[in-house]
């Protein structure tokens, strides 16, 4: 949410992680309906404008997992396999 509560950004990721851009486009196409649904459920003076973005946290966690499995990192951490 933005500080003035006028913009809400939702980070989304499809199951399986494939076709993420298509999912974001689908949410964008249905933004008006979703905003109306939010307006009915949330008690705010104004319903926030909804923005949808692809969630990068899954890619980042995969990158970190790959780094932690690296033999050099295991050696430095003193982790035995």
Whether the per-residue pLDDT at 11 is higher than 90: the answer is yes
Which residues, other chains included, contact 56 with Cβ-Cβ below 8 Å and sequence gap of 6+?
11
Q: What is d(CA 4, CA 40) in angstroms, rounded to the nearest whole number?
A: 19
Mean pLDDT of the 51-78 span: 86
The more confidently predicted of residues 59 and 1 is 1
Q: CA torsion, points 38, 46, 25, 22, in degrees to nearest 10?
A: -40
Provide the mean pLDDT of the chain.
88
Tokens coding 58: 């899954």
What's the confidence (pLDDT) of residue 80?
A: 67
Any idea where the domains of the chain sit in the sequence?
Answer: 7-77
The more confidently predicted of residues 15 and 17 is 15
Q: What is d(CA 30, CA 53) in angstroms, rounded to the nearest whole number?
A: 14
């Amino acid at each position: 949410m933005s500080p003035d509560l006028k913009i809400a950004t939702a980070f989304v990721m499809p199951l399986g992680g494939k076709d993420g851009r298509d999912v974001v486009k689908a949410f964008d196409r249905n933004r008006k309906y979703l905003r109306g649904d939010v307006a009915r459920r949330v008690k705010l003076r104004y319903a926030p404008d909804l923005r949808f973005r692809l969630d990068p946290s899954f890619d980042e966690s995969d990158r970190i997992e790959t780094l932690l499995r690296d033999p050099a990192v295991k050696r430095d951490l003193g982790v035995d396999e």
